[in-house]
Amino acid sequence: MTRLPAGRSLLAVALGVSWQHRLLRHHVVPAAWRRQCFGAGSKAEDSSPVTPLLKHLMFKIKSTGPITVAEYMREVLTNPVKGYYMHHDMLGEKGDFVTSPEISQIFGELIGIWYVSEWMATGKPKTLQLVELGPGRGTLTDDILRVFNQLGSLLNKCDISIHLVEVSPKLSEIQALTLTGGKIQSELDVTSPVYMKGISKAGIPIFWYRELQDVPQGTCFYLAHEFFDALPIHKFQRTEQGWREVLIDINPKAPDQLCFVLAPSATPATEYFIQGKEARDHVEVCPDAGILIQRLACRIQEDGGAALIADYGHNGNKTDTFRSFRSHKLHDVLIAPGTADLTADVDFSYLQTMTQGRVATLGPLKQQEFLKNMGIDVRLQVLLQNSSDTAMHKHLLQSYDMLMNPKKMGDRFNFFALLPHQRLARSDQKVNLQHTKSLSAPVAGFGELVWK
């Protein structure tokens, strides 16, 4: 029998959330997840089909010259007509990769508890806008909303709304189905930043936007899970003549294929993005991530709230992480663009720099540590005790292993948070006053969850 530590009755309620809802839909944990880290530019698995996107990119290169890796990534992933994310569902066993919320409901439930815990820690503001960037199939938000529903007595005076930033028409359709059962209204007013709205199964309003800037300001709690890794990166290489940007050109030996080339001279990008003290020979920089973090930091500085970012990544020490996945296998990044996912590890040290000190940051902390601090072991035990089905037990244990095993997702994925400075300052004072160890890391997940 699992014992819940004293003083955590609300957490106990949350960890005891009704479980039939999701688990019965997912019995099999896929053998591979998207973000296994292999070196970039591995063997191609298929021939080189000339996709519509390849034709488009070749036309572009012929007209205006080689393109940056960032431009390539942006086109391949989010071109409105043929972009990879735009018109099909790539998540899950039948797709190209699987993510933590798709593997186990426990993941989203613990994230839901994190938001309630932070909402409480910031003085229970009257409104709670949950803003998810890149919500995939809507599974994570759905699991979070189930926790909010379970903790209704705590949140009943709070005006909750959901704001989804999603560029893909196909995925937003799936999100709407997951979250509202399909009861949505497409916004016909082209001047409105909201392109779709609906009401969740529990009556919470949900709005869809294409960009973060469109989300109304207010006390927002932001979430980005496996979102930053999809943002376009620039690649640079050190040469004897100095730094050069890596570009993509038409392969002179195979005119229906693309290849990497180096810019013949330095460009404004090399000047602007490479730090003087840079020690690596290959560097990837994601300016879109930098801009987004600046926006999040400004909003949190002005309005409070918090942001939780979870992704695989590093602290400014990795070099070559640009890679592609198709059907859960590594794929050549330049072959058949538009038919496979493109991704690069998130540089958390860069994200931290780009907050420009406007907010406090916590992490990156390994997923296994974050989830342990959030009480994953207690939750697992509750679910195991609630079921006598051996297949269910197997699924629960397998998915726990996938999330927590350091060789699987446990060490590769990291949690990183942005918080208003006052949030930590207040807690630090408490630490000084009380000298208690448990308060020295007062933000749930980054320290053990303490929730009275």
Judged by the rule CB under 6 A, the positions of this chain that interact with ligand SAH are 77-78, 85, 91, 99, 101-102, 134-136, 140, 165-168, 171, 225-227, 230
CB of 167 to ligand SAH, least distance (A): 4
Could you tell me if residue 76 is left (phi over 0), alpha (psi between -120 and 50 degrees) or otherwise beta? Answer: alpha
Give the pair of three-digit tokens for residue 364: 């990156």
What whole-number distance in Å separates Cα of residue 160 and Cα of residue 155? 8
Q: Are 133 and 222 in contact (CB under 8 A)?
A: yes
CB of 369 to ligand SAH, least distance (A): 19
Q: Are 324 and 426 in contact (CB under 8 A)?
A: no
Q: Are 350 and 283 in contact (CB under 8 A)?
A: no
Closest to ligand SAH by CB, 211 vs 428, is: 211
Q: Are 76 and 105 in contact (CB under 8 A)?
A: no
Closest to ligand SAH by CB, 170 vs 372, is: 170
State the Rg of the chain over Cα: 22
CB of 226 to ligand SAH, least distance (A): 4
CB of 224 to ligand SAH, least distance (A): 7
How many separate helices (H) and strands (E) can be counted in the chain? 16, 18
Closest to ligand SAH by CB, 11 vs 131, is: 131
CB of 346 to ligand SAH, least distance (A): 12
Using alpha carbons, select from 218, 112, 98, 243 the residue that is nearest to residue 163. Answer: 218
Closest to ligand SAH by CB, 225 vs 358, is: 225
The burial of 41, by beta-carbon neighbours within 10 Å (0-12 exposed, 13-18 middle, 19 or more buried), is given as middle
The burial of 201, by beta-carbon neighbours within 10 Å (0-12 exposed, 13-18 middle, 19 or more buried), is given as middle
Angle at 294 between CA 67 and CA 369, to 5 degrees: 100
Closest to ligand SAH by CB, 350 vs 413, is: 413
Q: Are 299 and 46 in contact (CB under 8 A)?
A: no
CB of 227 to ligand SAH, least distance (A): 5
CB of 102 to ligand SAH, least distance (A): 6
CB of 152 to ligand SAH, least distance (A): 25
Alpha helices in 104-238 (DSSP H): 105-121, 139-150, 152-155, 169-180
Closest to ligand SAH by CB, 147 vs 230, is: 230
List strand residue ranges (DSSP E) for 315-412, in order. 323-326, 329-331, 341-343, 346-347, 360-366
What whole-number distance in Å separates Cα of residue 316 and Cα of residue 278? 10
DSSP state of 56: H
Residue whose C-beta lies closest to ligand SAH: 134
Closest to ligand SAH by CB, 237 vs 343, is: 343
Closest to ligand SAH by CB, 274 vs 289, is: 289
Hey, is 116 helix, strand or coil? helix
Closest to ligand SAH by CB, 134 vs 375, is: 134
CB of 242 to ligand SAH, least distance (A): 31
Closest to ligand SAH by CB, 150 vs 343, is: 343
CB of 44 to ligand SAH, least distance (A): 23
Q: Are 37 and 321 in contact (CB under 8 A)?
A: yes
